[in-house]
Amino acid sequence: MTTLPEGFTILAIETSCDETAAAVVRGGRTILSNVVASQMDMHSRYGGVVPEVASRQHIISLVPVVREALAALPGGWADIHAVAATHGPGLSGALLTGLNAAKAIAWQRGLPFVGVNHLESHIYASWLDVDDGVTKQPGDKVTDLTPSPRHPLTPSPPHLVTPSPPHLVTPSPPEFPLVALVVSGGHTLLALLRGHGDYTILGQTRDDAVGEAFDKVARILGLGYPGGPAIQQVAQSAQPPVGVLPRAWLRDSYDFSFSGLKTAVLHKVQERQDRQDRLPKVDVKAKAGRPVLGSQPPPVPSPPPPLDAAWVAQMAYAFQESVVDVLSTKTVDAARQHGATAIILAGGVAANTRLRSELSRRAAVPVRFPPIALCTDNAAMVAAAAFYRFAAGAQSGWDLDVTPNLKLGMS
């Protein structure tokens, strides 16, 4: 591991799914700019991400997003020392847009370039030095996460080392060994980190990713997309008594399974709709006299009756409790078994407040999670991961391709 100057400033691009993001990060930790253009509205009408739509939208958004990220630097391009982009895992067409843009920028400006693993970057969001006050601007598609007030925007001139005063860097970076729980729309895994880039997978999902389960259950309950925030919100209004849904413990393993839980919710919904269907209904026509045979159109199957909001809230609550119980139990056990100094909670589902609080309550070591805006896809985390890759002497060639099913620990 070489020591990079603390002023080493990276421009990173992230386009693995449905967020077009660019960020500039100094010293692997200090966010100078972080711009995210979300495509959520576009995909929500289809109930999920449409890959072709995502790629096209990345192409439209990339240039303005990169421009906005650079606008935060007084020296503009001259302040950038290196370029990074996500090259997998993710949607291949979406990944291609950001990766090719980053390679073109690096080549044209003669800067070093590195490809970053998306799962690794979610973990490195916990290395970023940010205030909890970092928030999304409501109703704004493009979100600028302004740097912490403790880090005023005074980027150093290129190649000049300006160590930050130690009291400004809080909290300190995580120390190894660490256990990371990565929970996103596409992945669910527990990993042991013994050093930068040194990963051992302890367990992973055998079927659905946990974010995917949130999204599918939300759809079954008629709560829309994305499902995670919708379920979390509705669960808050659940009134007792609430039934318990199954937990797939997969004993003696750190693996996970969520498809059985999803099916259990589906069966509960079907049972309830069947029961509502069997309720006696007043037959208005029967009262008016028997219809003449053959004069009526054939019966059309009626749509399932709507679920009542109170019952949906209880189901959302029970689902979330089941997920949080299994994730917390296994993560706490893994941290204890491997003597972790801390637990890192990463990925879009790390935004779940119930998971954050329950994991923190049960763990014997500190649980670190980024502010909510850095849990979901962003490019600041890509820059943070890239900093440690450059420090390890890594650099990618111009032939680096996208790897849609890239695993953690692979680069």
- Contact residues for Zn ion, defined by CB under 5 A: 184, 377
Under rule CB under 6 A, residue 349 binds ligand KG4: yes
Q: Which amino acid is at 209?
A: A
- Check whether the bond before 177 is cis (ω within 30° of 0): yes
Q: Quick one: which of 7, 88, 211, 370 contacts ligand KG4 (CB under 6 A)?
A: 211
Distances (CA, A) of 291 to 285, 286, 287: 7, 8, 10
Nearest 10 degrees: Cα torsion 43, 48, 54, 56: -60
Q: Quick one: which of 322, 331, 352, 403 contacts ligand KG4 (CB under 6 A)?
A: 352
Q: Restricting to residues 226-255, name those near ligand KG4 by CB under 6 A.
A: 226-229, 232
CA distance 61 to 101: 12
The secondary structure of the chain in percent helix, strand, coil, rounded to multiples of 5, reads 40, 15, 45
Instruction: Give the DSSP H or E segment for 45.
Output: none
**Which residues make Cβ contacts (< 8 Å) with residue 238, sequence separation at least 6?**
313, 314, 316, 317
Q: Which stretch binds ligand KG4 (CB under 6 A): 32-40, 164-172, 178-186, 257-265?
A: 178-186
Query: Smallest gap, in angstroms, from Cβ of residue 384 to Zn ion?
Result: 14
Give, to the nearest 10 degrees, the angle between helix 210-220 and helix 309-337.
170
With CA atoms as reference, report the closest residue to 277 among 298, 307, 297, 299: 307
Q: Edge-to-edge, what's the strand order for the sheet holding 367-368? A: 198-204, 188-195, 178-183, 342-346, 367-368
Which does residue 342 bind out of Zn ion, ligand KG4, none, counting CB within 5 to 8 angstroms by kind? Answer: none
Which C-beta is closer to ligand KG4: that of 174 or that of 370? 370
Which does residue 351 bind out of Zn ion, ligand KG4, none, counting CB within 5 to 8 angstroms by kind? Answer: ligand KG4
Which C-beta is closer to Zn ion: that of 80 or that of 346? 346
Query: Smallest gap, in angstroms, from Cβ of residue 27 to ligand KG4?
Result: 24
Which C-beta is closer to ligand KG4: that of 170 or that of 405? 405
Query: Smallest gap, in angstroms, from Cβ of residue 156 to ligand KG4?
Result: 31
Query: Smallest gap, in angstroms, from Cβ of residue 312 to ligand KG4?
Result: 16
Which does residue 227 bind out of Zn ion, ligand KG4, none, counting CB within 5 to 8 angstroms by kind? Answer: ligand KG4
Q: Quick one: which of 28, 88, 155, 348 contacts ligand KG4 (CB under 6 A)?
A: 348
Q: Restricting to residues 255-294, name those near ligand KG4 by CB under 6 A.
A: none
The site string for ligand KG4 over 47-86 (x = CB under 6 A, - otherwise) reads ----------------------------------------
Which C-beta is closer to ligand KG4: that of 115 or that of 228? 228
Query: Smallest gap, in angstroms, from Cβ of residue 214 to ligand KG4?
Result: 5
Query: Smallest gap, in angstroms, from Cβ of residue 191 to ligand KG4?
Result: 15
Under rule CB under 6 A, residue 214 binds ligand KG4: yes
CA distance 5 to 26: 10
Q: Restricting to residues 369-398, name those near ligand KG4 by CB under 6 A.
A: 376-377
Query: Smallest gap, in angstroms, from Cβ of residue 164 to ligand KG4?
Result: 29
The site string for ligand KG4 over 328-347 (x = CB under 6 A, - otherwise) reads -------------------x
Query: Smallest gap, in angstroms, from Cβ of residue 135 to ligand KG4?
Result: 15
Which C-beta is closer to ligand KG4: that of 70 or that of 181? 181
Query: Smallest gap, in angstroms, from Cβ of residue 307 to ligand KG4?
Result: 20
Chain position carrying tokens 């985390």? 381
Q: How many CB atoms lie within 10 A of CB 278?
A: 8
Q: Quick one: which of 27, 186, 203, 370 contacts ligand KG4 (CB under 6 A)?
A: 186
CB 92 within 8 A of CB 401: no
Q: Quick one: which of 351, 374, 381, 406 contacts ligand KG4 (CB under 6 A)?
A: 351
Distances (CA, A) of 294 to 144, 193, 299, 352: 65, 73, 12, 57
**Which residues make Cβ contacts (< 8 Å) with residue 348, sequence separation at least 6?**
183, 184, 185, 211, 228, 375, 376, 377
CA distance 38 to 338: 38
Q: Quick one: which of 79, 215, 255, 321 contacts ligand KG4 (CB under 6 A)?
A: 215
DSSP notation for 379-394: SHHHHHHHHHHHHTT-
Q: How many CA atoms lie within 13 A of 55 on its CB side?
A: 12
Q: State how far Cα 363 lies from the chain centre.
A: 22
Residues in contact with ligand KG4 by CB under 6 A are: 17, 184-186, 211, 214-215, 226-229, 232, 347-349, 351-352, 376-377
